[in-house]
């Protein structure tokens, strides 16, 4: 059994630890020589590279629905703080660089968050839905993902209609960020926000992109290992030249997460 962290033994120390981690996190950001995207424009760039939307309230989680409603509030504040940001050549998009002060004028509400292996109400909970949708959109573009963290455990069933597996991206201020770098000569822009029941993210560009990107799962396997169930989701991408039609496929990564919710009966479980 792994040793417990000091903050697990003495939970009262957790706020101090978070304060310390944030100071270190943003201090490193000032010294790492990256050019972070901060300029925002209310005028959308003319070309849409890719867009995706996801239902914000999932009634099938079995959790108190009020935390789902609170999550919508939190997502609205966070999306507002980064929507319109321009990502110029050589710049890096950092989720926390843009969202760190989203609750300065209007506070977040308690949403659900994974803390020490348990789903619990927490201030600002639910922002991972925005970071995950951003990551999915970035995968459908020529941008270079430089930092992404998958959820080590999946405690809630996916939103209805979710097709791809393993494209989520968890964030935790002071510890885990979502970052992409623009290694192209084009300028991009992120638009994000609620549209009805959906959280919508769009990636726009100044000039048309010469390639189309399709992200897919070549395989998704479920295995029982030492009494636990794990999902192994391969994530790959097909890149198509819009002029010649030439296609190129490549494996991006394999996402592994522990599944803690009951799987549907039709899913084959290996290793039993």
Quote the pTM value.
0.93
Contacting residues for 19 by C-beta, under 8 A, at least 6 apart: none
The domain locations on the chain are 34-209
Q: What is the rounded distance in angstroms from the CA atom of residue 36 to the CA atom of residue 46?
A: 22
Rg, C-alpha atoms of the chain: 19
pLDDT of residue 1: 47
Q: What is the rounded distance in angstroms from the CA atom of residue 90 to the CA atom of residue 34?
A: 9
pLDDT of residue 116: 64
In angstroms, the Cα distances linking 97 to 27, 29, 78, 257 are: 12, 9, 11, 27
Three-state SS annotation for 33-74: CCEECCCECCCCCCEEEEEEEEECCCCCCCCCHHHHHHHHHH
pLDDT (tens, 9 = 90+) of the chain, 272 residues, equals 456 665 556 666 667 888 899 999 999 999 999 999 999 999 999 999 999 999 999 887 777 889 999 999 999 999 999 999 999 999 999 999 999 999 999 999 999 887 766 788 899 999 999 999 999 999 999 999 999 999 999 887 887 667 799 999 999 999 999 999 999 999 999 999 999 999 999 999 999 999 999 999 999 999 999 999 999 999 999 999 999 999 999 999 999 999 999 998 888 898 86
Burial of 134 (0-12, 13-18, 19+ CB in 10 A): buried
């Amino acid at each position: 059994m792994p040793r417990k962290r000091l903050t697990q033994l003495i939970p009262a120390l957790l706020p101090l630890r978070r304060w310390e981690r944030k100071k270190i996190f943003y201090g490193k950001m000032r010294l790492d020589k990256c050019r972070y995207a901060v300029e925002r424009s209310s005028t959308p760039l003319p070309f849409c590279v890719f867009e995706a939307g996801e239902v914000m309230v999932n009634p099938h989680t079995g959790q108190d629905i009020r935390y789902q409603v609170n999550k919508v509030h939190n997502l609205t504040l966070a999306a507002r703080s980064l929507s319109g940001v321009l990502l110029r050549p050589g710049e890096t998009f950092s989720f926390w660089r843009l969202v760190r002060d989203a609750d300065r004028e209007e506070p977040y509400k308690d949403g659900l968050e994974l803390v020490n292996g348990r789903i619990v109400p927490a201030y600002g909970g639910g922002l991972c839905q925005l970071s995950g949708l951003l990551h999915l959109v970035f995968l459908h573009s020529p941008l270079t993902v430089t930092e992404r963290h998958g959820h080590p455990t999946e405690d809630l069933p996916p939103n209805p209609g979710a097709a791809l597996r393993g494209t989520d991206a968890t964030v935790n201020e002071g510890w885990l960020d979502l970052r992409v770098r623009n290694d192209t000569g084009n300028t991009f822009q992120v638009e994000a926000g609620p549209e009805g029941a959906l959280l919508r993210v769009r990636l726009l560009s100044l000039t048309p992109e010469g390639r189309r990107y399709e992200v897919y799962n070549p395989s998704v396997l479920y295995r029982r290992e030492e009494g636990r169930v794990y999902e192994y989701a391969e994530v790959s991408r097909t890149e198509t030249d819009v002029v010649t039609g030439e296609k190129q496929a490549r494996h991006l990564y394999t996402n592994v997460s522990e599944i803690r919710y009951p799987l549907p009966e039709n899913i084959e479980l290996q290793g039993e």
